[in-house]
């Protein structure tokens, strides 16, 4: 088996995409945190190619992992800042193959292969485009998660509705007003469905907003809210849910929700628009894969998107 490093700046969504691709390629990945130290992280990636030989280790942030030899057979990076580290590492590891996930915001020639989404502007002979974010959600994984978590959520009334909450991003802030509006919609959804809400907030939701969430549903026995203690129930919620509600700030979460084949409601965050995730959500709704909640609880079906098999086959054909 080829050795593999996964490079990200540490965000959960990026780590998940690297692991998903490595798994699809049957690579055992060693994850490494690789970030750019300030103030260099504020500069656009496009300025760095002439200085790529000096990036590693000179610009490596103190909290990063070591990126020293022996180097692996494959490096899979994800995210803007990890792209810089991968480009720099490539000058030191000429025999390593480099795959970058997402638009590296620099020419694709600095990598062996780039896997970007259709809405990304990057093009090139070594660029593969996907419609959905990379993920590892399969029927087999969902079945195992259901066996594990079904007893945990058995007491909650059907339909059980998984709620995947995001929050603030580098282009959006989920404030108290937006959180109150979100809670109001969730309360209406539960009333209309006569079921349960199984809610998992993210770190991006924010402590104050999570307190609002907990206070709003404190007396409701048919609402579960993950408190970040114990095993992460994320896969379990996808597995046991009859339907899924997901906020429109995360392409990853929306892609993973649709991989279940269950009805997916997109919940627009107040004031969040004209970003890549928001536009992605709009295309899902326009294409009939997902819907917004308009006061009536509905059920529908759609073809489950499945790009991972064809993507991994194409990558293997090109690189291995």
- Residue pLDDT, tens place only, 39-77: 999 999 999 999 999 999 999 999 999 999 999 999 999
Are residue 123 and residue 146 in the same domain, yes or no? no
Confidence at 82, pLDDT banded by 50, 70, 90 = very high
Residue range of the domain that includes 32: 3-131+309-319
Confidence of residue 14 (pLDDT cuts 50, 70, 90): very high
Residues 145 and 283 in one domain: yes
Q: 277 with 158, same domain?
A: yes
Q: Is the same domain home to 43 and 82? A: yes
Based on the fold, state whether residues 71 and 96 are members of the same structural domain. Answer: yes
For residues 113-128, average pLDDT: 95
Say yes or no to pLDDT of 295 above 90: no
The average confidence (pLDDT) of the chain is: 95
Both tokens of residue 20? 């998903």
d(CA 54, CA 161): 50
The CATH number assigned to the domain holding 236 equals 3.40.50.2000
**CATH of residue 116:** 3.40.50
Does the structure show a pLDDT above 90 at 195? yes
Per-residue pLDDT, 177: 95
Please determine, for residue 278, whether its predicted confidence score (pLDDT) is greater than 80.
yes
Cα separation, 238 vs 258, whole angstroms: 10
What pLDDT is stored for residue 12 in this prediction? 87
Per-residue confidence band for 294, with pLDDT thresholds at 50, 70 and 90: confident
Q: Is residue 302 part of a domain?
A: no
Q: Inform me whether the pLDDT recorded for 284 exceeds 90.
A: yes
Average pLDDT for residues 290-305, to the nearest whole number? 90
Asked whether residue 13 falls in the same domain as residue 85, the answer is yes
Rounded distance, CA 300 to CA 129, Å? 28
Q: What is the pLDDT of residue 171?
A: 87
pLDDT at position 8 over 80: yes
- Counting the structural domains of the chain, the total is 2
Report whether 113 contacts 76 (CB < 8 A).
Answer: no
CA atoms of 262 and 283, how far apart (whole Å): 18
């Amino acid at each position: 088996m080829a050795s593999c490093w996964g490079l990200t700046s540490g965000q959960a969504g990026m780590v998940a995409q690297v692991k998903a691709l490595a798994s699809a390629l049957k690579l055992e990945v060693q994850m490494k945190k690789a970030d750019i130290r300030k103030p260099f992280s504020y500069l656009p990636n496009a300025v760095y190619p002439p200085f790529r030989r000096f990036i590693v280790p000179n610009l490596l942030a103190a909290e990063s992992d070591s990126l020293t030899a022996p180097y692996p057979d494959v490096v899979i990076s994800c995210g803007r800042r990890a792209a810089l580290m991968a480009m720099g590492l490539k000058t030191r590891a000429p025999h390593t193959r480099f795959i970058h996930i997402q638009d590296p915001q620099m020419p694709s020639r600095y990598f062996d292969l780039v896997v970007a989404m259709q809405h990304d502007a990057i093009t090139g002979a070594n660029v593969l485009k996907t419609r959905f974010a990379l993920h590892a959600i399969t029927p087999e994984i969902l079945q195992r998660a259901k066996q594990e978590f079904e007893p945990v959520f058995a007491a909650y009334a059907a339909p059980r509705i998984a709620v995947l909450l995001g929050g603030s991003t580098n282009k959006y802030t989920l404030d108290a007003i937006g959180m109150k509006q979100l809670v109001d919609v969730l309360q209406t959804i539960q009333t209309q469905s006569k079921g349960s809400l199984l809610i998992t907030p993210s770190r991006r939701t924010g402590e104050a907003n999570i307190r609002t969430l907990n206070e709003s549903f404190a007396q409701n026995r048919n609402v579960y809210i993950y408190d970040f203690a114990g095993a992460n129930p994320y896969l379990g919620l996808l597995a046991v849910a009859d339907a899924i509600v997901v906020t429109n700030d995360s392409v990853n979460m929306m892609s993973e929700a649709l991989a279940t084949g269950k009805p997916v409601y997109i919940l627009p965050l107040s004031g969040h628009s004209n970003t890549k995730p928001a536009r992605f959500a709009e295309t899902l709704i326009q294409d009939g894969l997902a819907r917004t909640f308009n006061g009536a609880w509905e059920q529908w079906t759609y073809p489950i998107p499945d790009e991972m098999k064809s993507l991994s086959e194409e990558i293997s054909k090109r690189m291995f």
